Every structure is written in C-alpha cells, then in structure tokens.
Amino acid sequence: MVKIIKNPTIVTAAGNKPKLIEEFFGLVNSGTDAISIARMKSPAGWIEPGQTPEFDEYIVVLSGTLRVKTTGQINDINAGQAIIVHAGEWVQYSSPEQEGAEYIAVCLPAFSPEIVHRDE
C-alpha cells in the first residue's frame, strides 16, 4: 500500500540561529524508523553542536554552502555536491557567515534525539 506525504512536519533544530527542518519521512512525520528524509534551510552564520550519531547521514546541497567539520577535517560542500558522514563519526554542521544553505539530509536509520548524541 502506498502512503502519500502531503506535507512535511517542521522539526525543531539545534544551533545558534533558527534553522528550518522539514521532515518528509522519519519518526515524526511518517512514523518511519528505517530512514528519515528532510529538507534543511540554514541561515548564514548558523552552527549546531557537534554530534556522534548512530546513523549514516547522506547530504545533497541544493544551494549555498554547508560546512561539515569532522575530526581533523573541515569540508565546504557547495550546491550540486554531496557528502556521506558515517555512523559513529564526530561531526559538526554549520553555514559560513557569507551564506546559508539548503540541502536534503537522509539518515539511515531515521534520526532521533536518542541516537544523535550531541555534545553538551
């Protein structure tokens, strides 16, 4: 049986500035625990706490630049590029001061606050 997702659910984001998270599939919007798919819109200068999630995260940047900091590496992912961050790897996401970013994030298994393990 097919399930049509008519609208995403807005999910509260972590970070120093408001970031829009529109979850289409995941625990909140569709009750899906195997995968989450969300469109993210982060403003210029946004930064969130570091995390060591228990899920793989696949990101495709649609516009702007997403900064992805891992242990020992900082990558600026531009529109049209993508990145995979594997489960168990420490990561911190941000948008450079000059521009924000719009991107699609896919998490396997689905994102949940219990398995993201944000820095305190």
In this structure, is residue 7 part of a structural domain? no
Q: Quick one: average pLDDT of 18-34? A: 97
Whether residue 49 is predicted with pLDDT greater than 90 in this model: the reply is: yes
Residue-level pLDDT at 5: 96
- How much is the mean pLDDT over the chain? 97
Residue-level pLDDT at 102: 98
In this structure, is residue 10 part of a structural domain? no
Greater confidence (110 vs 1) lies with 110
Expressed as residue numbers, the domain containing 56 is 17-116
Place of tokens 């995260």: 57
In this structure, is residue 46 part of a structural domain? yes
Residue-level pLDDT at 120: 85
Total domain count for the chain? 1
In this structure, is residue 47 part of a structural domain? yes
Q: What is the DSSP string of the chain?
A: ------SPEEEPPPSSS--EEEEEESTTTT--SS-EEEEEEE-TT-B---B--SSEEEEEEEEEEEEEEETTEEEEEETT-EEEE-TT--EEEE--TT--EEEEEEEES---HHHH-B--
- Percentage of residues of the chain with pLDDT beyond 90: 98
pTM to 2 decimals?
0.95
In this structure, is residue 105 part of a structural domain? yes
Domain with 64 in it: what CATH number? 2.60.120.10
Q: Identify the bridge partners of residue 11 per DSSP, sorted by sequence position.
A: 21
Largest CA distance in the chain: 46
Q: Quick one: average pLDDT of 39-51? A: 98
In this structure, is residue 8 part of a structural domain? no
pLDDT band at 37 (very low <50, low <70, confident <90, very high): very high
Q: Quick one: average pLDDT of 71-89? A: 97
pLDDT band at 53 (very low <50, low <70, confident <90, very high): very high
Whether residue 19 is predicted with pLDDT greater than 90 in this model: the reply is: yes
